[in-house]
Every structure is written in structure tokens, then in C-alpha cells.
């Protein structure tokens, strides 16, 4: 016998021999292809796959381990399923089972809708990819459930939220300012306010979530962007900039009156002086280098 040598049996091995098997017709009514792995609990597959879902509870694809079946958009085909073996305990996936497969857990699973992390809407005939946006009523409802004693993870699961991060952020805002802060609208921030937020965060060693709640800023990414700009450009990086592309149209007016130049702010004056000093410094370096070269060549 050699190391790594494969010694097959003289007979063929029947795949999933003796296990319960069923056939089901599956149609992909979505606009994206869906691929299902060999050991995925077929009852919990993507909502864009339409079939008699109830009869597939406790079954998986009858294919070799590590392989998969692909369903193209609009495709309909018959597939074979085989009963899940072993201890028949199924966890994760779309969180419809999360325990041992039996008649009791099947009744519970049938009462739930698919979890949003399947990335499709709960609509068999119009499946599309989406990003979740939450209404004010939804936020208030979630907060009230947490205040009644339900855990954050439990509330997120009951309300079909794919992530607990938004709920944690809402709770932080509620704790700092109640319902008004939770439902605050978009605001415009001055450069001085931005600087105050950043320096307060650094001084008190706060996280992005804590800082956002403290100053009623809805998105932690906003503060993160301010920090990067402040690190790179100082206070001038926090100044408001015009959005959009500059106009490409040229003025047709020949008798254009020159408007008086706008006075520079103190920060802009310092930046302009700094730029001029750098230019002078570079010019002096080049001049000294040229003088040394002339001395070597004997020029005067």
C-alpha cells in the first residue's frame, strides 16, 4: 500500500440508501439565480423558489455532499429530496427550525415567515433585493417591547430585523433624549459643531454610538467621516463644500461687472500664507543648489 493510494471497493455504493425520499417541482420566480447546497434544509430556502414547502420539512437535496443545484430565473424543474440524517438537529439558516426536526417543531416552523436575511421580500410572485428602512412607528414599537423586558435579540427576531445594530442605536438615542431624539430629522451641522463633537469624543474616550446619542446624530458614519477629515486637514476639512459638479456654461455677458472679492476667513488666510511660505522655501532651496553648482564650475 502506498501513501495516498485510493483503494475502491469492487461494488458500487448507493447514495442515501434506505432513507426516505420525495420528489418536488420547484420554480424560481425571482430575477436572480438561486443556488442551494447539498445539506441545506430545503424547507428554509430562498422565498423566490416556489414549491410545496410544507412537504419538504426535514429534507435536503438528494445529491453528493459538497455539490449544489442551481435554479436560473424563470426555471422550473423537478428535484429529489432525501430525509436529513443523524440527530436531525437543524440550526441557523433562516432560523425556522433551530432544534430537532419532528412534528411538534414542524407546527412551530409553519407559523413563522422566512427571516429577512434570505434577502428577498415576503412575496412569492414578486421577489427583489432590498435594503430595510424602518418607519417611526416601527422604531417606537421596538423600543416599547424592549422596555417591557424583552431582550434585544428576541425583539429583533420577532420583528424580523436581520441585524440588532439599528435597535441598539435606537435604544441609545432613546436613553439620551426620549422619543423626540429617537425620531429626530436630518440636520445641518456647522464646522464649529463638528469640531466640538470630535474633541468631546476624544476627551471622554467615547465610542461612535455613544457620541451619536450624546449629540443626537442619527448616523455614526457621519462622525467617522468628520474624524477622518479633521485628522487629515484640520478645521478646514470640516468646512462645508458645494455639492455637485461645477457649471460648464460660460457667461455670454461681455459687459460683466467685476464683483468685489469675498474676504478670506482667518483659517483661509493662514492656509494661503502657509502655501506661499512653502513656495518661497522651495525656491530658496533651488537657488542655493544652483549657487553651489556654479561655484563648482568656477562661475561667479
| Distance between CA atoms of residues 248 and 287, nearest Å | 40
Residue from 144, 125, 145, 121 nearest 133 by CA: 121
Task: Summarize the confidence of residues 8-26 as an average pLDDT.
Answer: 85
Contacts for 153 with CB less than 8 Å, ≥ 6 apart? 164
Sign of CA dihedral 284, 290, 296, 298: negative
Q: Assess whether pLDDT exceeds 90 at residue 82.
A: yes
Q: Look-up: residue for cell 463644500?
A: 241
Cell of 150: 424583552
Strands 76-83 and 21-28, sheet pairing: antiparallel
pLDDT at 40: 92
Question: What's the DSSP call for residue 282?
Answer: H
| pTM of the model as a whole | 0.39
200 φ/ψ sector (left φ>0, alpha ψ -120 to 50, else beta)? alpha
Q: pLDDT by residue (tens digit) across 117-155?
A: 444 444 433 444 444 567 778 888 888 888 888 888 788
Q: Are 128 and 120 in contact (CB under 8 A)?
A: yes
Q: Assess whether pLDDT exceeds 60 at residue 116.
A: no
Q: pLDDT by residue (tens digit) across 184-200?
A: 655 678 888 888 888 88
Strands 34-37 and 68-71, sheet pairing: antiparallel
Q: Which of 56-70, 86-100, 162-176 has the lowest mean pLDDT?
A: 162-176
Query: CA separation (Å) from 153 to 142, 183, 227?
Result: 11, 22, 31
Q: Please give the share of the chain, as a percent, with pLDDT higher than 90.
A: 10
Residue from 45, 41, 39 nearest 71 by CA: 45
- Surface-to-core class of residue 191, CB atoms within 10 Å of its CB (0-12 exposed, 13-18 middle, 19+ buried): middle
Q: pLDDT by residue (tens digit) across 213-250?
A: 788 787 777 888 888 888 888 878 888 666 556 666 65
Angle, helices 191-204 vs 220-233, to 10°: value is 100
| Distance between CA atoms of residues 217 and 113, nearest Å | 34
pLDDT at 28: 84
Cell of 186: 436630518
Amino acid at each position: 500500500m502506498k501513501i495516498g493510494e485510493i483503494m475502491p471497493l469492487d461494488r458500487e455504493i448507493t447514495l442515501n440508501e434506505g432513507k426516505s425520499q420525495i420528489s418536488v417541482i420547484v420554480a424560481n420566480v425571482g430575477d436572480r439565480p438561486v443556488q442551494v447546497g447539498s445539506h441545506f434544509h430545503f424547507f428554509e430556502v430562498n422565498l423566490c423558489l416556489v414549491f410545496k414547502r410544507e412537504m419538504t420539512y426535514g429534507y435536503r437535496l438528494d445529491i453528493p455532499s459538497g455539490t449544489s443545484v442551481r435554479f436560473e430565473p424563470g426555471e422550473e424543474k423537478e428535484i429529489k429530496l432525501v430525509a436529513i440524517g443523524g440527530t436531525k438537529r437543524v440550526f441557523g439558516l433562516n432560523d425556522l427550525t433551530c432544534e430537532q426536526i419532528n412534528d411538534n417543531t414542524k407546527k412551530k416552523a409553519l407559523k413563522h415567515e422566512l427571516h429577512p436575511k434570505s434577502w428577498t421580500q415576503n412575496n412569492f410572485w414578486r421577489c427583489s433585493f432590498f435594503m430595510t428602512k424602518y418607519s417611526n412607528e416601527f422604531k417606537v414599537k421596538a423600543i416599547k417591547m424592549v422596555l417591557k423586558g424583552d431582550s434585544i435579540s428576541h425583539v429583533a427576531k420577532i420583528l424580523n430585523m436581520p441585524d440588532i445594530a439599528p435597535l441598539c442605536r435606537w435604544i441609545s438615542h432613546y436613553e439620551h433624549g426620549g422619543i423626540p431624539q429617537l425620531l429626530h430629522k436630518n440636520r445641518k451641522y456647522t464646522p464649529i459643531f463638528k469640531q466640538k463633537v470630535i474633541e468631546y469624543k476624544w476627551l471622554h474616550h467615547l465610542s461612535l454610538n455613544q457620541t451619536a446619542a450624546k449629540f443626537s446624530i442619527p448616523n455614526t458614519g457621519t462622525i467617522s467621516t468628520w474624524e477622518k477629515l479633521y485628522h487629515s486637514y484640520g478645521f478646514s476639512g470640516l468646512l462645508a463644500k458645494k455639492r455637485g459638479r461645477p457649471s460648464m456654461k460660460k457667461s455670454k455677458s461681455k459687459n460683466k461687472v467685476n464683483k468685489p472679492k469675498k474676504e478670506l476667513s482667518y483659517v483661509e488666510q493662514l492656509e494661503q500664507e502657509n502655501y506661499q511660505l512653502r513656495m518661497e522655501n522651495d525656491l530658496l532651496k533651488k537657488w542655493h543648489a544652483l549657487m553651489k553648482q556654479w561655484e563648482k564650475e568656477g562661475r561667479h
